[in-house]
Chains A and B, each alone.
Chain A
């Protein structure tokens, strides 16, 4: 499956032609060829190759729609008859399906193609370089690499293609128990020198974790959240904050912004920034995403993400959101604080390298809880003094990103989503770090 485009075009055309008068067929391809290598204790734990392809085919007649996802070989000659049989099954099943009043199909002909080529390392090179760099330390990590292909076609004249070749290596150097330095190296072209530089930096940080850790008492603390920690916080808002359906059914975590004019700090501007993200410019039903959608504008709730289904249900325009109405290329605007001045601005407080396992303790109040993780430190007078034992925070987003927010950093990190549930994600978050006047620790 080194180049899936010819396969996609051939099978998509075949599927389009299967539509009978009065029918529409939507078909979406999701495929990948991935190498996954797990490391533990500076040795290889598991190495897995995955080659997979699946089509999601929808047959539509009038207001009826029946959809099925089917794993396939990724070989056009083999898959054409299998998919034709699937369409026949869908046709037979359609009679038993109720009308769907919220059915919305993209009918405007459109086409696009995007291909982000990469120069990916051979698994042998990755194993050699990682094991060499991990000598003398306790490394645990995960490497994922390979092409991901997404395609969409419809019998009414829409055809989109998106191919990305990328790798991501995330690893920890452990000092002891839960004390570790977390690092990531991701991109489209593996550079041995760039990897070694990141490993050198991680080793330097690891030395700090050898100092005696500090156990903080619960209470409010000044805090600096590094971009990796902010990514977790923004992930919670993405999960339950921005969709039109969750807003209209009052289940959004930001419902008080929608209904009671609650606000975040004017420093907070959040967009779905498809133009600068990694995800495809179209969603799984073929609707094209605008370059940007402002979700929070200078602290005020702005546009929701609207899936085609919600668009029909609530009588508005879709903006190419996925069915869950969650962002795929979230972007928090930068502030003015220089990264290099962050510790000085923090003064005395906690530097939070990562957060972990966030959840809502009161969703309507957008009150969140979670843990500090990995390299987090106690800072005094702008200087790191000691690593922290893990602590739980419990606070509202309205405080953390509202009254307590003192600054956002000028520099931002692009954090690619490393999720590999079922298939490799193409989502990402671009975020600065954040300086908080107060963060409430509880346990």
Chain B
């Protein structure tokens, strides 16, 4: 099919300054067992292509699910018309951008093919673990699910560039909800919103720790139900990787997106407290903070060979020793801003134009074992697993909540607390980073649900992080 598509595209490509075709075919299967009842499988094949035309400084995109010759012809005409309509009236003379010309192939780690396990066997695997959640009448809901996706993508330019990529995504999840007297507490294994998501095969289920997780989440939900609310006050927080991923995402990732800094998102996702003059000098965090954009880590959720404008992926430091070095901006944004960025122009699918997105945005490990981080806290709380997130449109004032908390007193772990929340300001929060966990605390997480853009796009993002300690944070619990 790809050969035919490429041939048709080349034969139809118009005489313009630049023309590219981006094809995406994504096949997915979602299986769930809820309260011991297998739910019907949901299958999907989402297939289509987007044409990009740059001509006389204008830029036009047109996407179609009709991949026939006539369908491509219509899309090319539409993209060409948009390029003509916007020429001389765009935010940039798009003809001035040196669009990359990628060539090659990229493939996720193959691992154990999900198709090697029958649908019936997958259901049995999920049912067995879901059943283990049923340990107490106060467990009122429980579910195990598995979401597998294969995505085939190809990028052709009319003048011969050709990059073909194939990705395999595996996303397991398990949750249990306990309820008593007007209050419910949910504990998940893998995060409330599919935080355990990776590229590869069924070996990911072992890394996830599905075996035995059912009883574990149910016990934790009951423990939370009986726990006191997290106390209020200023104290240290020790954020574990499944909360760090959210902290990185919201208060480093989004503010560093170059299109936000350039104002593109101000009508929807918002702006940024970061300005262009900060790169190279601004102290974003304490000297312990090292942040990389790394689409090359094979098992991580948003790894790739090239971004959707064809720029080759490489690992780059965004923040080193706490100093801001570069933004998250691809070829077009880099040209607009006159600043170096990374390969991160991405689209969520064939029907959306690529924009600046995080791919894998990670905090690099430090040197402290977990015991040392705990021992360094006189009065504080350890928090695990994001459940709530809210941040202003400049990505500055935030408030985040977790599923599970545990007090730390005099360097020792103490009682479990429920509804742990904290709030702060991005511009100062990272400067309170006082301890960074070593590689033994480092976990590879992510999210399938990063929303941004107009038209809206939900895209896959990876975040890996060690446990991190922050000093003197405004903490509070739940209840009215």
In the complex, what residues of B have CB within 8 A of residue A69's CB? 42-46
Indicate if the CB atoms of A45 and B43 lie closer than 8 Å: no
A371-B118 Cα distance, complex, nearest whole Å: 47
Indicate if the CB atoms of B390 and A250 lie closer than 8 Å: no
**Contact residues, B382-416 vs A (CB, 8 A):** 388-394, 397, 399, 401
B247 to chain A, nearest CB (A): 15
Indicate if the CB atoms of A98 and B82 lie closer than 8 Å: no
Known contacts: A131-B89, A361-B478. The answer to whether A142 contacts B262 by CB under 8 A is no
Q: Answer whether residue B177 sits at the interface, using C-beta atoms and an 8 A cutoff.
A: yes
**Contact residues, B55-89 vs A (CB, 8 A):** 59-68, 71, 74-75, 78-79, 81-82, 85-86, 89
A420-B392 Cα distance, complex, nearest whole Å: 22
Known contacts: A51-B65, A52-B351. The answer to whether A44 contacts B479 by CB under 8 A is no
Indicate if the CB atoms of A67 and B41 lie closer than 8 Å: yes
Interface string of B448-464 (1 = CB under 8 A from A): 00010011111000000
Residue of B with least CB distance to A123: B85
Indicate if the CB atoms of B397 and A140 lie closer than 8 Å: no
Q: Answer whether residue A101 sits at the interface, using C-beta atoms and an 8 A cutoff.
A: yes
Q: Answer whether residue B472 sits at the interface, using C-beta atoms and an 8 A cutoff.
A: no
In the complex, what residues of A have CB within 8 A of residue B86's CB? 44, 47, 127
In which size bucket is the chain B interface? Answer: 35 or more
Residue of A with least CB distance to B43: A68
Indicate if the CB atoms of B182 and A46 lie closer than 8 Å: no
In the complex, what residues of B have CB within 8 A of residue A101's CB? 37
Indicate if the CB atoms of B60 and A362 lie closer than 8 Å: no
Known contacts: A69-B44, A71-B47, A177-B271. The answer to whether A357 contacts B82 by CB under 8 A is no
A167 to chain B, nearest CB (A): 13
Q: Answer whether residue A326 sits at the interface, using C-beta atoms and an 8 A cutoff.
A: no
Indicate if the CB atoms of B48 and A71 lie closer than 8 Å: yes
Interface string of A19-62 (1 = CB under 8 A from B): 00000000000000010101011011111111111100010000
**Contact residues, A134-181 vs B (CB, 8 A):** 138, 140-142, 144, 170-172, 174, 177-178, 180
In the complex, what residues of A have CB within 8 A of residue B344's CB? none
Indicate if the CB atoms of A251 and B141 lie closer than 8 Å: yes
Indicate if the CB atoms of A49 and B42 lie closer than 8 Å: no
Known contacts: A41-B91, A67-B40. The answer to whether A52 contacts B65 by CB under 8 A is yes
A93-B123 Cα distance, complex, nearest whole Å: 14
Q: Answer whether residue B362 sits at the interface, using C-beta atoms and an 8 A cutoff.
A: no
Contact of A73 among B40, B42, B68 (CB under 8 A): B68
In the complex, what residues of B have CB within 8 A of residue A49's CB? 60-63, 75, 78-79, 82
Residue of B with least CB distance to A96: B119
Q: Answer whether residue A359 sits at the interface, using C-beta atoms and an 8 A cutoff.
A: yes
Q: Answer whether residue B300 sits at the interface, using C-beta atoms and an 8 A cutoff.
A: no
Indicate if the CB atoms of B454 and A36 lie closer than 8 Å: yes
Q: Answer whether residue A190 sits at the interface, using C-beta atoms and an 8 A cutoff.
A: no
Known contacts: A178-B271, A178-B393, A357-B390. The answer to whether A48 contacts B480 by CB under 8 A is no
Indicate if the CB atoms of B271 and A250 lie closer than 8 Å: no
In the complex, what residues of B have CB within 8 A of residue A40's CB? 91, 262-264, 266
Contact of B399 among A48, A74, A141, A369 (CB under 8 A): A369
Q: Answer whether residue A370 sits at the interface, using C-beta atoms and an 8 A cutoff.
A: yes
Q: Answer whether residue A360 sits at the interface, using C-beta atoms and an 8 A cutoff.
A: yes
Interface string of B3-39 (1 = CB under 8 A from A): 0000000000000000000000000000000000111
* Interface pick from A268-276, A293-301, A336-344, A391-399: A391-399
Indicate if the CB atoms of B119 and A127 lie closer than 8 Å: no
Residue of B with least CB distance to A90: B43
- Count of A-B contacts judged by CB separation below 8 Å: 262
In the complex, what residues of A have CB within 8 A of residue B48's CB? 52, 71
In the complex, what residues of B have CB within 8 A of residue A203's CB? none
Residue of B with least CB distance to A258: B182
A101-B179 Cα distance, complex, nearest whole Å: 25
Contact of A369 among B390, B458, B474 (CB under 8 A): B390
Q: Answer whether residue B111 sits at the interface, using C-beta atoms and an 8 A cutoff.
A: no
Known contacts: A102-B37, A249-B140. The answer to whether A142 contacts B43 by CB under 8 A is no
In the complex, what residues of B have CB within 8 A of residue A3's CB? none
Indicate if the CB atoms of A421 and B451 lie closer than 8 Å: yes
Indicate if the CB atoms of A47 and B263 lie closer than 8 Å: no
Residue of A with least CB distance to B26: A71
In the complex, what residues of B have CB within 8 A of residue A256's CB? 182
Interface string of A327-371 (1 = CB under 8 A from B): 000000000000000000000000000001111111111010111
**Contact residues, A68-100 vs B (CB, 8 A):** 68-75, 78, 93, 96-98, 100
Contact of B45 among A52, A67, A70, A359 (CB under 8 A): A70
A41-B352 Cα distance, complex, nearest whole Å: 21
Q: Answer whether residue B173 sits at the interface, using C-beta atoms and an 8 A cutoff.
A: no
Q: Answer whether residue B282 sits at the interface, using C-beta atoms and an 8 A cutoff.
A: no
Contact of B394 among A71, A182, A390 (CB under 8 A): A390
Indicate if the CB atoms of B423 and A443 lie closer than 8 Å: yes
Contact of B268 among A52, A142, A371 (CB under 8 A): A142
Known contacts: A44-B89, A396-B480. The answer to whether A357 contacts B267 by CB under 8 A is no
Indicate if the CB atoms of B480 and A398 lie closer than 8 Å: yes
Interface centre among A96, A141, A396, A398 (most CB of B within 10 A): A96
Residue of B with least CB distance to A65: B40
Known contacts: A69-B45, A364-B184, A392-B423. The answer to whether A371 contacts B390 by CB under 8 A is yes
Indicate if the CB atoms of A251 and B63 lie closer than 8 Å: no
Q: Answer whether residue B188 sits at the interface, using C-beta atoms and an 8 A cutoff.
A: no
Indicate if the CB atoms of B62 and A394 lie closer than 8 Å: no
In the complex, what residues of A have CB within 8 A of residue B451's CB? 421
In the complex, what residues of A have CB within 8 A of residue B74's CB? 51
Indicate if the CB atoms of B82 and A251 lie closer than 8 Å: no
A260-B264 Cα distance, complex, nearest whole Å: 46
Interface centre among B90, B141, B264, B480 (most CB of A within 10 A): B480
Indicate if the CB atoms of B40 and A97 lie closer than 8 Å: yes
A362-B421 Cα distance, complex, nearest whole Å: 9
Q: Answer whether residue B210 sits at the interface, using C-beta atoms and an 8 A cutoff.
A: no
Indicate if the CB atoms of B177 and A250 lie closer than 8 Å: yes
In the complex, what residues of B have CB within 8 A of residue A178's CB? 270-271, 392-394
Contact of A72 among B38, B65, B183, B392 (CB under 8 A): B65
Q: Answer whether residue B186 sits at the interface, using C-beta atoms and an 8 A cutoff.
A: yes
In the complex, what residues of B have CB within 8 A of residue A123's CB? 81-82, 85
Q: Answer whether residue A108 sits at the interface, using C-beta atoms and an 8 A cutoff.
A: no
A42-B391 Cα distance, complex, nearest whole Å: 27
A365-B141 Cα distance, complex, nearest whole Å: 19
Known contacts: A102-B37, A127-B85, A420-B456. The answer to whether A260 contacts B478 by CB under 8 A is no
A67-B423 Cα distance, complex, nearest whole Å: 43
In the complex, what residues of B have CB within 8 A of residue A251's CB? 141, 177, 184, 186
**Contact residues, A393-420 vs B (CB, 8 A):** 394, 396, 398-399, 419-420
Indicate if the CB atoms of B141 and A250 lie closer than 8 Å: yes
In the complex, what residues of B have CB within 8 A of residue A142's CB? 267-268, 454-455
Interface string of B268-309 (1 = CB under 8 A from A): 101100000000000000000000000000000000000000
Contact of B390 among A66, A72, A359 (CB under 8 A): A359
A299 to chain B, nearest CB (A): 17
Q: Please name 11 pairs of A and B residues whose Cβ atoms are closer than 8 Å in the assembled complex, sorted by A.
A: A44-B86, A49-B79, A53-B66, A54-B65, A67-B42, A70-B45, A100-B37, A142-B267, A359-B388, A365-B479, A390-B392
* Chain B interface (Cβ < 8 Å from any Cβ of A): 37-48, 59-68, 71, 74-75, 78-79, 81-82, 85-86, 89-91, 118-120, 123, 140-141, 177, 179, 182-184, 186, 262-264, 266-268, 270-271, 349, 351-353, 355, 388-394, 397, 399, 401, 419, 421, 423, 425, 451, 454-458, 474, 478-480
* A46-B355, A180-B266 known, 9 other contacts, Cβ within 8 Å: A40-B262, A44-B90, A46-B61, A71-B65, A96-B120, A250-B141, A390-B393, A422-B351, A443-B474
* Chain A interface (Cβ < 8 Å from any Cβ of B): 34, 36, 38, 40-41, 43-54, 58, 64-75, 78, 93, 96-98, 100-103, 123-124, 127, 131, 138, 140-142, 144, 170-172, 174, 177-178, 180, 182, 249-251, 255-256, 259-260, 356-365, 367, 369-371, 373, 390, 392, 394, 396, 398-399, 419-422, 424, 442-443
